[in-house]
Amino acid sequence: MASESFILLGVNHKTTPVEIREKIALSSGYEEPLQMLKNIPGCKECYLLSTCNRVEVLVVGVPGAELEEKLIAFLFGDNLSADECRKYIYNYTGRDAVNHLFNVSASLDSLVVGEAQILGQLKEAYRYAAEYHCAGPLLNRLLHKSFSVAKRIRTETGIGSSAVSISSAAVELARKIFGDLSDKHVLLLGAGEMAELAAQHLVGQGAVSVTVANRTFSRAVDLAQKFNGKAASFDELLVQLEKADIIISSTGAPNIILHKEEVKPVMKTRRNKPLFFIDIAVPRDLDPHLNDLENIYLYDIDDLSQVVEMNRTERDKEALKATRIVDEETLKFERWYEGMSLTPTIQELHKKADAICRQELEKSLSRLTSISEKERKSLEKMAGAIASKILYDPLQYLKSEDCGGRDNSQLKVENIRTIFGLGDGTEK
């Protein structure tokens, strides 16, 4: 009997370099990708998480090569062969998928361990999955549990006390280059959440001015006002580069927005005054060849891993506590899920035993015409007790804990269904 399970496929900053992550074939936003995912044969429930550091799909279905290939094609389209994708993609099922999701929600799998941003991203992705009717009862339960696991870890450990977000890590890198940032002019390319977080940290470090450039000028104005900064259109980008010291780019553009040949004449105007770029967009916004120019320093999102070494010892200590909690909560969820898979079989066992008892009891009672109502009730009670005693050992066998995991639990269910003639459980 084929068994449904949780299946999770994805890529992240640990497994996949940025030049491969750029080949993800999903359109922007959640609506269209979720509808595509929902329509994949074999996906009973589905969820999609897409951030600058990871893209993951989580579905309920029957694990197997056929569904795996469809999910890989969903992620990469024709941009990479399936064999090439498998070099970078991770694939978890069952308990391993649950454990991975809990690690992600707890920020144990983040570029910056302990950062708080990932939980908000998980919740936002879940809202879309719920809105488009992609998440059903199993994913609803699992995702809500992942949120409570993250909350428990925040409460019981200090994992967030010494951690920073991606944006603050970018600012820390700027401080390592320039030292004091109080006399620096900052240009933000993009007006999204990552740009806003970067601005918060930069202002906190005393940056003298913040300018926001965005394709939608009204959004640039709105964000700039929050920090007493200035707004600019993308048409002014090269002019703004002449005044800036630090450029943090986090747009959602599908292609490079600033090339080496465009910046080269700007450096002459600046008299080669240093220009520091941090590209935290995926796909990348900035031409990697900018690094070839003198006095230009370009770092992309993968380079930020060097910054997060700060406070690693303390974070690792708290991460050990958090990992223990994740493992504990994974085990609890697995037991709940196994109980869910046992329930139909247990109900059918009771139903079949009761039906046999009633049938045989009616045959006997039809021949015992002289018994009283009290005696009749006693016989019915006895028949029920016999059925319960017969079922006691099979039910204990089903419910017993062992080290075989969910696969062994499924085997036990199949054994009981075969022995008691309950069929394969697929009948409607």
Angle, vertex CA 235, rays to CA 233 and CA 239, nearest 5: 95
Cα first-last separation, the chain: 15
Do you know the residue count of the chain? Answer: 428
β-sheet bridge partners, residue 249: 189, 279
What distance in Å separates the CA atoms of residue 131 and residue 34, rounded to the nearest whole number?
10
What distance in Å separates the CA atoms of residue 100 and residue 405, rounded to the nearest whole number?
16
Buried/exposed 213-251: b ≥16 CB within 10 Å, e otherwise = bbbebebbbebbeebebbbbebeebeebbeebbbbbbbb
Residue 357 is among the residues annotated as catalytic for this protein: no
Q: Are strands 209-213 and 275-279 parallel, antiparallel or unpaired?
A: unpaired
Residue ranges of alpha helices (H) inside 132-164 are 137-156
Q: Which of 52, 85, 134, 357 is catalytic?
A: 52
Strands (E), 169-229: 185-189, 209-213
DSSP string, 350-409: HHHHHHHHHHHHHHHHHH-TT--HHHHHHHHHHHHHHHHHHHHHHHHHHH---TTHHHHH
Specify the DSSP class assigned to residue 302: G
What distance in Å separates the CA atoms of residue 375 and residue 200, rounded to the nearest whole number?
82
With residue 46 as reference, give the H or E element that holds it. Answer: strand 45-50
What distance in Å separates the CA atoms of residue 138 and residue 143, rounded to the nearest whole number?
9
β-sheet bridge partners, residue 317: none
What distance in Å separates the CA atoms of residue 257 and residue 236, rounded to the nearest whole number?
13
What distance in Å separates the CA atoms of residue 57 and residue 9, rounded to the nearest whole number?
5
Query: Which residues have a catalytic role annotated?
Result: 52
